[in-house]
Structure formats: structure tokens, C-alpha cells
Amino acid sequence: MRTLFLLLVALNLALYAWPRYYAMPDSAADPEPLRREINPNSIRLLEGKELAGLSVLKPKPAAETPASGPAAGGSCVEWGGFSVAEAPRAEKTLEPLALGARLTQRRSDETAGWWVFIAPQPNRAAAMKKAAELKALGIEDFFVLPDEGKLRWAVSLGVFSSEEAARSRLEALRVKGVRSAQSGERESQVVKISFQVRNADAALQARLKELSRGSPGTEIRDCQ
């Protein structure tokens, strides 16, 4: 019995010591890692001078990602120079463009240095006759001056900030058959209406310029 007990103790000691002191390491047991090594004896640490001579690979900059969605194009333009009486007609002209919130209206007090007019008539009846003739020619934008003074019973066909705008209006009236109108200087304060359109691209600006040809004396310009 004693002999069997000693044999079991010796066997346990052998099993305990074998993996610690006698078994080969895994790398030796498995030849594959050794085969994958490339000249292991030639590996050495580089010194400072050798490291300085190495070229450093810099990461390539990431490609710029284009902004999502188109940028808002165009600028703010203004179709201006309308009298209070002319503004509703101009607004109706703009309706087919479906501008929505991009369209706003601006009122301003301007000094008009030029106007287009029919000379003062002898009395009210004569002035009303001229008004009827203008309506028959399809002209609605005029005003009979009832005020006392040398311009009483004259018919105003528009006041303008420049001589060029006044002449443009006069030429348009003559094309429609108005022969008695003329242009001249007149210093007065008037209310002018302008329509501002935001984000107007080149195509829209060209369309606005086309529409402005039907309203002599108005102009397309940058927003003020």
C-alpha cells in the first residue's frame, strides 16, 4: 500500500513539472510561425540618425464633399417706378411668375423732376373730354389736375425721376395714338411703388426686363 501511494505522488509531481520545465513552447510545437518569419536574425533597432532619414508618409486629404442641395442662386432685383395707380396692374402682370413669398412691395417718396402731360384745358368739360379720348385709346394711367393755378385742368400721364424715363413714356403714348402729350420738367414729391424679387436668377431677371418693356418709365435695378 505504501509503495502504491508513493507511485501516485511521483506521478502527480511529474505531470505538474512536465508542462513547466520540459514541454516545448507552442511556436516550436507548431512549425508554421517559424516558417512565416522573414530573416528574424536581421531585425535590429534603428538609431536616431537613421530614423531622421526615413520619409514619412502623410495621409491623403479627404476629398471634399459637395454641399448637399443646390445653393441659393440669384440676387435681389427691383422693378420700380410705378405710381400708386399703376401698381395694381403691375402686380397682376407678375402673377404668372408665381413668385410667392419672394415678391415684396416697397413704397418710397421720390422727387420727380420730369413729367408727361397734356397741357391745361380751358375748363373741366374739356379736360374730361381728353380723359375720355385717352380711355378710348386704352390708356388708364392718367390724372386730371383740378388744383387752382396755371396747371389747372392739365392731364398728367406720369411723373418720373429722369428725363430718359419721361421720354420713354412719351414715345409709348405716341405709338398708341396720343398726339397732344408732351414731356417737361416738374419738381414735385410723389409716392412710387417698387416690386422686389429675391433670389432672381438670370432667366428670371431676363423675364422681368421683358415685362418692363410694357411699362414705359419703369426700370429693373438692384434692390435698394
3-state secondary structure the chain: CHHHHHHHHHHHHHHHHHHHHHCCCHHHHCCHHHHHCCCHHHCCCCCHHHHHCCCCCCCCCCCCCCCCCCCCCCEEEEEEEECCCCHHHHHHHHHHHCCHHHEEEEEEEEEEEEEEEECCCCCHHHHHHHHHHHHHCCCCCCEECCCCCCCCCCEEEEEECCHHHHHHHHHHHHHCCCCCEEEEEEEEEEEEEEEEEEEECHHHHHHHHHHHCCCCCCEEEECC
- What is the model's pLDDT at position 113? 87
pTM of the model: 0.46
User: What whole-number distance in Å separates Cα of residue 133 and Cα of residue 116?
Assistant: 16
Give the Cα separation of 95 and 77 in Å (integer). Answer: 16
Q: How many CB atoms lie within 10 A of CB 170?
A: 22
Closest CA to 84 of 132, 134, 166, 156: 156
pLDDT score, position 58: 52
Confidence (pLDDT) at 153 = 95
Output the pLDDT for position 111.
78
Looking at residue 67, its pLDDT comes to: 41
Averaged pLDDT in 10-residue chunks for the chain of 224 residues? 62 59 50 52 54 52 43 78 87 94 92 90 95 94 88 92 89 94 87 93 93 86 89
Q: What is the pLDDT of residue 190?
A: 81
Q: What's residue 109's pLDDT?
A: 86
Q: What is the pLDDT of residue 68?
A: 40
Amino acid present at 148: E
pLDDT at 69: 39
